[in-house]
């Protein structure tokens, strides 16, 4: 309880400044002194964890998406169906190579071997 003029027996100590500065002022047991303490600095807002949780969620989703994309690419290149051979170009002067039809080779291997 801060001292006031009606309570002369309040013990000496630091109390909230009666002038409303937000800081503290020293009461010597009889009167206010000229000693003042600045108000404490504002406390930083506490992170409630939502931002951190959102970042973790996005990182996990992007990681799973990358794994899924890698699996799709791997599956597309490891299919053993050789019926999908790239046809030879009608005009031999074009830069499109014909696929090499090797038994047991995948479509990706055929396209690579044709280059």
Checking if the pLDDT of 102 tops 80, the result is no
Checking if the pLDDT of 6 tops 50, the result is yes
The domain limits of the chain are 1-43, 44-77, 80-115
Task: Assess contact for 15 and 28: CB atoms under 8 A.
Answer: no
Checking if the pLDDT of 1 tops 50, the result is no
Helix (H) or strand (E) holding 89: none
Query: Would you tell me the crossing angle of helices 107-114 and 50-77 to the nearest 10 degrees?
Result: 70
Q: What is the pLDDT of residues 14-55, one digit of tens each?
A: 999 888 888 899 999 889 998 998 888 887 776 666 678 888
Q: What is the pLDDT of residues 47-88, one digit of tens each?
A: 666 678 888 999 999 999 999 999 999 888 877 655 555 555
pTM of the complete model: 0.33
Tokens of 112: 């690579």
Q: For residues 55 and 2, what is the distance between their CA atoms, to the nearest angstrom? A: 47
Residue corresponding to tokens 């031999």? 92
Checking if the pLDDT of 113 tops 70, the result is no
């Amino acid at each position: 309880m801060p001292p006031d003029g009606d309570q002369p027996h309040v013990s000496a100590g630091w109390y909230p400044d009666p002038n409303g500065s937000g800081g503290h002022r020293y009461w010597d047991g009889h009167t206010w002194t000229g000693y003042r303490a600045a108000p404490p600095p504002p406390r930083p807002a506490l992170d409630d964890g939502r931002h951190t949780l959102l970042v973790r969620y996005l990182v996990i989703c992007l990681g799973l998406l990358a794994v899924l994309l890698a699996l799709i690419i791997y599956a597309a290149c490891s299919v053993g169906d050789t019926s999908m051979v790239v046809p030879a170009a009608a005009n031999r002067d074009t830069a499109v190579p014909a696929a090499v039809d090797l038994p047991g080779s995948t479509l990706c291997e055929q396209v690579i071997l044709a280059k």
